[in-house]
């Protein structure tokens, strides 16, 4: 990825932030989209202070016109798109409101569509590239109380396979990653909100659902994203890659 250009959505925190930091450290020209202007600009400035080429683009991936304008603001070529932006929801069908369903769909599904549609002309213009989508183990296995979230991750997997098939002849690869539980600020916020005073106990319980005995770190997901996106991963397309501590393969 040296001297290549990557666009990462949801790059101001969690897995997206780890990706921004890793790709930048490898001398990749990094653009990232996020909704939070203060945090986004702080992240970009921190990386620029290290001598890295990082640009923050403030906007919502759920709005196509806004997304298209942000993508078109990228100077020169685009080699890689990473559709990482996403939101979650806890609940079954019966306690998922229409508003909740639509909110998760707008970011996780429509946002992925918007970014891919907006980025494809740039990828095609420079002769190919890579698209990497963030799916989840929830795309292929039933997880309790994750109806809306699981629905969107199943869509991410299906979109990945379709895009890979449609554009393989044009030199565009498309893959997705399916993480298990990852220790991000979302996890800490979820535990603080729903289990006040029991955060450590519940964290350990969630971590133990991975056979390997812990959650992943955002940097571990970023390392795999970098490999798949780089020239080293150039023979990989149309693939869903689990990174889940054995959650799918070793569950009894």
Spell out where 88-191 has E strands.
129-134, 172-179
Q: In sequence order, which residues have a C-beta less than 8 Å from that of residue 115 and are 6 or more positions away?
A: 7, 9, 33, 61, 67, 71, 81, 83, 85
Query: How many angstroms separate the CA atoms of 247 and 137, rounded?
Result: 8
Work out the number of other CB atoms within 10 angstroms of the CB of residue 13: 18
Element (H, E) at 7: strand 5-9
Tell whether the torsion through CA atoms of 126, 128, 134 and 139 is positive or negative. Answer: positive
Reference 70, options 8, 160, 163, 27; nearest CA is 8
Choose, from 31, 149, 167, 226, the residue flagged as catalytic. Answer: 149
- The SS3 call for residue 101 is helix
Specify whether 195 is catalytic. no
Write out the catalytic residue numbers.
149
């Amino acid at each position: 990825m040296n001297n290549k250009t990557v666009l990462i959505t949801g790059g101001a925190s969690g897995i997206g932030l780890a990706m921004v930091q890793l790709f930048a450290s490898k001398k990749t020209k990094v653009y990232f989209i996020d909704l939070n202007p203060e945090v986004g600009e702080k992240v970009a400035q921190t990386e620029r202070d290290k001598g890295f080429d990082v640009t923050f683009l403030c906007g919502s991936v759920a709005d196509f016109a806004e997304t298209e304008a942000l993508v078109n603001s990228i100077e020169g070529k685009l080699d890689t798109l990473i559709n990482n932006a996403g939101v979650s929801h806890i609940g079954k069908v019966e306690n998922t409101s229409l508003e909740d369903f639509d909110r998760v769909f707008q970011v996780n599904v429509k946002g992925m569509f918007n970014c891919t549609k907006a980025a494809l002309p740039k990828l095609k213009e420079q002769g190919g590239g890579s698209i990497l989508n963030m799916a989840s183990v929830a795309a292929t296995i039933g997880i309790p109380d994750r109806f809306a979230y699981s629905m969107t991750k199943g869509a991410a997997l299906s979109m990945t396979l379709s895009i890979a098939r449609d554009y393989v002849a044009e030199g565009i690869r498309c893959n997705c990653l399916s993480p298990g539980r990852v220790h991000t600020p979302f996890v800490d916020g979820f535990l603080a909100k729903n289990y006040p005073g029991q955060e450590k106990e519940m964290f350990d319980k969630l971590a133990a659902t991975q056979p390997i005995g812990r959650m992943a770190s955002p940097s571990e997901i970023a390392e795999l994203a970098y490999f798949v996106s780089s020239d080293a991963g150039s023979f990989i397309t149309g693939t869903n890659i689990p990174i889940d501590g054995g959650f799918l393969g070793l569950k009894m």
